[in-house]
Structure 1
Amino acid sequence: MVGHAYLIGAGPGRSDYITLRGFRLLQQAEAVLYDALIDPALLTEVPAECECICVGKRGGQPSLKQSEIDALLVRTCQQGKNVVRLKSGDPFIFGRTTSEIQALKQAGIPFEVVPGVSSALAAPLLAGIPLTDPVMSRCFAVLSAHEPEALDWDSLAALDTLAILMGTRHLAWIVQALLERGRSPETPIAILQWAGHPQQRVWEGTLQTIEQMTTRQSLSPAVILVGDVIHLRPFLQADGVQGKEVPPYNQPEPP
C-alpha cells in the first residue's frame, strides 16, 4: 500500500506564514522532505516519529539533483508513509514541482498540492511596496533570472513593475539589459533580502546606483524589484507601531 504525497508551500520567512491547511498536514506527516529556505521552526511541529530529510535546493550550495529528489519522494511514499514535500514560497512558482508530480503520477502515488505565499508577492508587501497602483503600476511580471539571457528583455523592460527571483548573481546583467532597452538610469530598484525573516534587509536605489550600493554585499536570497512603485515605500511602511507579537506554534500563550 502506497502513502500519499503533499506538496506544500511554506510561504516566505517565519513559520507562521504557512497556510493553516499546510500546517495541519505537516502535523500529520510521517516523513518530510524539506528545502533549505524553510523556517526550521516548522520541523518542530511534526510528530516525534516523523523522518525529516533536508533536500537542499539552495543556489550555489551542494544539494540533491532534482531527479534524486523525485526518486526519494516516490521511494518514501512507496513505504506507505504520508509524505510532506515542504517548499519555501509557493510550490508552483519556480518550485520545480512539475517534475515531482510527474514522478508521483508515473508511480501511481496520490498527491495534493497546497498553495503557499510566494516571496515574489510577500517581499514587496513586507517592505511596504505595492506591486500594483492605479497610476504607477497597472501590471507587474514575476520572473526568474537564473538564466537571464533566455528572457525577452525587450518586452520585460516595457512593463511597469518587475519582481525578479534568483537574480542577485546577475544584478549587473539585469541593470545593463534594462538600461539598453530604454529604462531611465533613475528608475527605482530595490533588493529585498530574507523577506519575512528577522534579518530582513532592503537596499533601495536606482539602476544607476544599485550596483555601487551593494558592492561586496552577499545579497541572496532576495527579490529584486524594479519600478516606480518603490517611490511609495515612505508612505506605506509601518510607522514603527507594532502589533501584538504572536508566539511561534510550538510555544504556549503566556498566562
Structure 2
Amino acid sequence: GRLVYGSSASGRAEVWMSDADGTNARQLTNERAPSMQPSVTPDGRYIVFQRFTQDGGNVWRMGIDGSDPKQLTRGALNLGPHADNAFVYYVSLTSGSPRPWKISIDGGEPVSLGDHHFRLIGLSPDGKRQLGVSWDEGARRSALAVLPVEGGTPQLLPDIPAINGSWAPDGRSITLFLPHEGGVQFLRFLPGEKAPQPLGKVVDRVFAYAWSPDGKQMALARGQASTDVVLITRTGSGRQ
C-alpha cells in the first residue's frame, strides 16, 4: 500500500506519497503555491487537492503520480475536496459560510448541493453520503451531519459528542477521537446508539487520521505541540 499526504518537509505545504511504512517518500507537487488536503479517488487514478494561489483557494486534480495537474474550480475559497470516480465534492466559502458543491472529475460547471451550512469531512465507502459538520440550531452548536451526494438537507447526528469524525470502514458507523489521559482515545459510534465502542488509545496528540480502504490499518499524523506566551513591548509611536 501507499500513503498520500500533505507535508511541509520541503519548506512549503506540498502533496507527498510514500510506501505504507513511510519509506520511499517523494514529493508530488512543486509549485510556488501551497498544495494541501489531498484525497485519492477510489479507483486510484487521481489525487484531488486544494491549492492556494493569488486568486484564492481552489480545487485541483492530478494523476496518482503527480502528473497533469488541472485546476477544477474558479473562485476565492473552494476547499476540502473529496472525490468518487466521477465527481469531486467540496465546500465553497464564497457566500461567507460553508456550502456544499460538486464538480465533474474532468472539470466543467460546478453544481450546488444546497444552501445549508456544511463543511465536508469525507465520503462514505459506498460513495452515496457525505459526512461533514453542520449547525444544530436548537442546541446552538456545531454537530456532525450526513448529506446525500445528490444534495438536500443535512441530517444531524447530535448524539455524537465531537466534530472530528470520519466514516468507519463498514460505511455505517463513525470513528472519532476524544481527549484521554494526556492523549486520545478512538471510539466508534453507530448513529442512533448511545454506547460507543472503544478502538484504542494513542498517547500523543492526533492531528489527522485515515483508514486504509480495506479497514485493516489506520494512518495517523501524531505528535506534540508546544506554545509560548510572547510579550511585545511598544517602543515608539510607529510614525515616520
TM (norm. structure 1) is 0.25
Of Structure 1 and Structure 2, the greater strand share is in 2
TM (norm. structure 2) is 0.26
